[in-house]
Structure 1
C-alpha cells in the first residue's frame, strides 16, 4: 500500500535532489503532473518514476530547456 502514498513538493524535491522551485517549474511545464489539494500539490510515486524513465539523459535545468525536453518526450514540434 505504500505505492498509494502521495508525495508533497518538498518530498519530491528531496527525493530527486532538486530545489522546491525546480519541482514547481516541472509541474508548471507539465513534466511532472500533480494533483491540487487545496493550496498544495501532491505527486504520485508512479508519476515520479515516469519522470525518471522518460526524462533520463535530457536537460531540464531551466524552464527553456525543460520546455524543449517536454516537447521532445511528447513528440511536439
Structure 2
C-alpha cells in the first residue's frame, strides 16, 4: 500500500478569506443557539442585542417590551423578544423620550389595524 500525499497551494488571501468565513459561521451558530432560548434575563437580552442592561430596563419600564418579574429580576420570553424586534424595527430607542414616542406610535398603528379590521367585520354583518 502506498501513501499518497496531496499538496495544497493556498495563498495568504485565500487563507484569510477561509478563516474569516469560518469565524462568521461560528459566530452565526453561537448567536443562533443563544437566540433559540425560551427566556432571557435582562443581562442575557442586553448581551444578545448588544446594548446595556439599563437600556433593556428602560424599554420595559416604558412599555416597549413586556417582562415577567421573577424574584428581583425580570425575564423576557422568546415570543416577546421577537414581537419587540418586529414592532420597533426602524425606531430610535436610544433614550426614554424616543422610546415613549415609539410606544405611542406603535400603539396608534396597532389600534388603527384593529379598528379597520373591526369596520370590515361590521360591514359584513349589515
Q: What TM-score, normalized to structure 1?
A: 0.89
Match of 1:63 in 2: 96
Which structure has the bigger radius of gyration?
2
Structure 2: runs of 5 or more not aligned: 1-35, 110-126
Match of 2:60 in 1: 27
Whether 1:9 aligns to 2:34 is no
Q: What TM-score, normalized to structure 2?
A: 0.56
Structure 1: runs of 5 or more not aligned: none
The alignment yields a C-alpha RMSD, in angstroms, of 1.8
Any idea what the Cα deviations from partners look like across 1:28-67, whole Å, max 9, x if unmatched? 0010100001111010011111111000111111000000
| Larger helix share, 1 or 2 | 2
Any idea what the Cα deviations from partners look like across 1:4-39, whole Å, max 9, x if unmatched? 731100000011111000000001001010000111
